[in-house]
Amino acid sequence: MPDEGVTELLARWRAGDRRALDALTSRIYPELRRIASRHLRRERGGHSLQTTALVHEAYLKLVDQKRTDWRDRAHLFAVMGEIIRRILVDHARAVHREKRGGGAPSVVLDDALHISEKKSFELIALDDALQGLAKLDAQQSRVVELRFFAGLTVEETAEVMQGSRATVNRDWVTARA
């Protein structure tokens, strides 16, 4: 989706124009669905969150962002990627806390259940790893978050981070290692 008009709509929304938010929403909704769908495909089978519900929950959190100084499309999708990540991690933790005995050892009844729990634990482990990486190198952690969760390109990530493509590539390779 080209940036054309998104930055202007963000500025108008920041200034309090409700119609700009409506126009922005219709403009970015298909891309948000694509990002959410991509993340849900990585999740366990039978995930209780559906793409539409995930997008709508993310949207509600987005419009609640009162102090964000929106710069452009890449910045918007960086924030949305972070919001989607938080929703999925919080959901995975809640599932394990409430439905799985609050962290008590689970008994695997069949392969499907094992795979389902494994996917949730992988998401939680990824979030824990990102938090650990952030303590060591906040910039590398942010690059992973923008590339993996927000789905931004190297160029968009560099723009959001106000850095160079070479630095983003280097951080991406190092963080993945």
Give the rounded percent of residues in the chain with a pLDDT score beyond 70: 80
Assess contact for 150 and 74: CB atoms under 8 A. Answer: no
Q: Assess if residue 172 is contained within a domain.
A: yes
Dist CA 170 CA 164 (whole Å): 10
pLDDT (tens digit per residue) in 127-152 = 888 888 889 898 988 888 888 877 88
Dist CA 26 CA 157 (whole Å): 23
- So what's the pLDDT on residue 63? 81
Q: Assess if residue 105 is contained within a domain.
A: yes
Q: Assess if residue 44 is contained within a domain.
A: yes
Q: Assess if residue 139 is contained within a domain.
A: yes
Q: Which domain holds residue 35?
A: 6-176
Q: Assess if residue 1 is contained within a domain.
A: no
pLDDT (tens digit per residue) in 87-139 = 888 887 877 775 555 555 444 434 444 445 556 667 777 788 888 888 989 89
- So what's the pLDDT on residue 46? 60
Number of domains composing the chain? 1
Secondary structure of 50-105 as H, E, C letters: CHHHHHHHHHHHHHCCCCCCCCCHHHHHHHHHHHHHHHHHHHHHHHHHHHCCCCCC
Q: Assess if residue 24 is contained within a domain.
A: yes
